[in-house]
Structure 1
Amino acid sequence: MGTIIRHTFLDSNGIRMHVTDAGRGYPILLCHGFPELWYSWRRQIHALAEAGFRVLCPDLRGFGGTDAPEEIESYVMRELVEDIHGLFDALGIDKAGVVGHDWGGALAWQFALRHPERTERVASLNTPYLPPGPQAPSLMYRDAFGLTDKTFYMRHFQEPGVAERELEADVRDTFQKLMRPAKYADAVASFMTVGNGSSLLDKIGPGETFLSKIDLDTYVRIYKRTGFRGGLNWYRAMDLSWEEERELPSTIDLPALLVVADKDPVLRPEMAELSRPHVKNLRIERIADCGHWTQQEKPGEVASLLIDFFGDLRDPAMD
């Protein structure tokens, strides 16, 4: 019969969240990145549920079927963490394994840091855990990349409306250009710097996407409805999050897994070692021939690593 994915809406931290729920057993929460949806975990949902887990995948604040408040202040990391905390409360979950990719990885680390009592273990795809640096992120990227023809994309995102116009001009083209397999890593990397008359997607040439027609149609249908503003506001709140995170402890003392992709041009695999001083019980795994969109490009490898990492939490009666 296969795994049944149940869709539900719940109230958490003042917003209405769309969450998918599949399987039964020990709960595992999967948090997506930008510009994605719960749907980015579609293959891991089935694999984990069939392995004996309850799998929860929300559309995070600003994405898909979940509310997207207007105010940038609504997207500080404190609020994003409390969305998950409230989700656990609404579903009656005391503790879970927490997994994230890209921005979802940053959220997973922060949830584990702030709510270790609700986190059994934490896993991140691509995103290392790093405490806040001495400069606000926007200033750090300014100094590293400059303000002319190599302006870093996260700074380009800061002005409301600019990136929205570029990404929403042709939503199908946006996803076809961004969601490319590892052999196009260099082309996709051109997304990271803009300026000199170029926009985010100008320098990405033709090439295939790893998305099927159904996958692509799903992203296009939903993003044509929602636009990109909600997800972009995570970047616009990053300096506010940095201010608040400086007041927090900086060490995570939980079993942790960091999965890196060897051809990710954004979150480079060598960055993983920077996490070791701050995560006491860290396991690092590397997936070969994989770009940034790890769980979509290498679904089987990701599922196997997660099942291995969380495997002993399964109820023996499920076997």
Structure 2
Amino acid sequence: MKVLRTPAERFAALPDYPFAENWLDIDLGDGHSGRMHYVDEGDKAAPPVLLFHGEPSWSFLYRKMIPILADGGFRVLAPDLIGFGKSDKPDDQNFYTYTRHVDWLKQWRTAVEPRPAALFCQDWGGLLGLRMVGEEPDLFTCVVTSNTFLPVGGGATPAFLAWREFAKSSPEFDIGAIIDRATQSDRNEEEIAAYNAPYPSEEYKAGARAFPQLVPVEDDTPGVAENKAAWEGLAAFDKPFLTLFGKDDPVLGAAGPALASRIKGADGQPHDMLSDCGHFSQEDRPTELAQGVIDMAKAAGHIA
């Protein structure tokens, strides 16, 4: 297996993404190591907020929210998961596991910002972030989620199974086009190119192709037992927890009320199904999402 590094020149002309690069060496396992990239904006002494992206995006997805949150009084941290964005990319789909993704993200979090933090997570960012909240709730002051869940088996829809097979085996996996189709607002050519920038060729896309295979939707899928255990801590999480889901997300939009109904800290919060909002809600409704984070952090006493 090779650990690939996207050439820096691929990121030379990113629109509305002026953020400085930050790097952390990660122990990937089996004798491999790689660099994880992350955005780190705002006062480093300010209360932290963590922004976790999902499939098949990267921290570019948060470019509209980061300035709002930094101006709101946060240290804003947005990592690129291993296999995505500017981070290094193992080229073997089989190397990626749910457990490894959690471990890699925990390595980053422990090294970069171990203080209790606010969390915003979407898509696979939620499968990772909500697992972490359930396992270590004291490390989080409040949570805002969008278009995500913490699955524990039980089966999958035909639409998801088709997507999983497409991601695994389709001859071409056009990531920019996938993201563009899953938003309600229009992406211009430069934005679509930015989502494709991490992947000079198909061999760089192993992580993006692997993620759908790792969702624990069948009862015997790795991760089911760990997620069931994490749900005990997640359900008991009594700090502010807000769901802001996209009304136009056909796959996960309806999961918002179901998620909110199971978590103690979600009781009485101003949950919303956002109109004109698809799966990648950070593109469609960034201002509302950022304000939700600010509101929950104030309710938690995390920021003034």
With the length of structure 1 as denominator, give the TM-score of the two structures. 0.74
1:229 equivalent to 2:206? Answer: yes
Match of 2:129 in 1: 108
Q: Secondary structure at the match of 1:224?
A: coil
1:23 equivalent to 2:38? Answer: no
Residue of 160, 172, 183 corresponding to 1:166: 172
State the 1:83 CA deviation.
Answer: 2.2
Q: Which amino acid aligns with 2:281?
A: T
Structure 2, unmatched stretches of 5+, are: 1-15, 29-33, 216-220
Looking at structure 2, the residues matched to 26 and 219 of structure 1 have their Cα atoms a distance apart, in angstroms, of: 29
1:5 equivalent to 2:24? Answer: no
Q: Which amino acid aligns with 1:98?
A: L
State the 1:310 CA deviation.
Answer: 1.5
Residue of 250, 256, 260 corresponding to 1:272: 256
With the length of structure 2 as denominator, give the TM-score of the two structures. 0.78
| Contact in 1 for aligned 2:118/2:297 (Cα 8 Å) | yes
Match of 1:187 in 2: none
1:258 equivalent to 2:243? Answer: yes
Q: 1:268 to 1:174 in 2, by over 3 A?
A: closer
Residue of 146, 152, 162 corresponding to 2:161: 152
1:40-51 superposed matches below 5 A: 40-51=61-72
Residue of 289, 292, 295 corresponding to 2:279: 292
How big is the alpha-carbon RMSD for the aligned residues of Structure 1 and Structure 2? Answer: 2.8
What is the aligned-residue identity percentage?
A: 25
Q: 1:173 to 1:42 in 2, by over 3 A?
A: closer
Q: Secondary structure at the match of 1:300?
A: helix
Q: 1:315 to 1:123 in 2, by over 3 A?
A: closer
Looking at structure 1, the residues matched to 178 and 17 of structure 2 have their Cα atoms a distance apart, in angstroms, of: 31
Q: Deviations over 1:116-150 (max 9, x none)?
A: 132222221111345x13x4xxxx23xx43xxxx6
State the 1:151 CA deviation.
Answer: 7.5
Looking at structure 2, the residues matched to 58 and 69 of structure 1 have their Cα atoms a distance apart, in angstroms, of: 17
1:219 equivalent to 2:195? Answer: yes
Match of 1:62 in 2: 83
| Contact in 1 for aligned 2:22/2:39 (Cα 8 Å) | yes
Residue of 204, 222, 237 corresponding to 1:240: 222
| Contact in 2 for aligned 1:32/1:104 (Cα 8 Å) | yes
State the 1:69 CA deviation.
Answer: 2.9
| Contact in 1 for aligned 2:131/2:230 (Cα 8 Å) | no
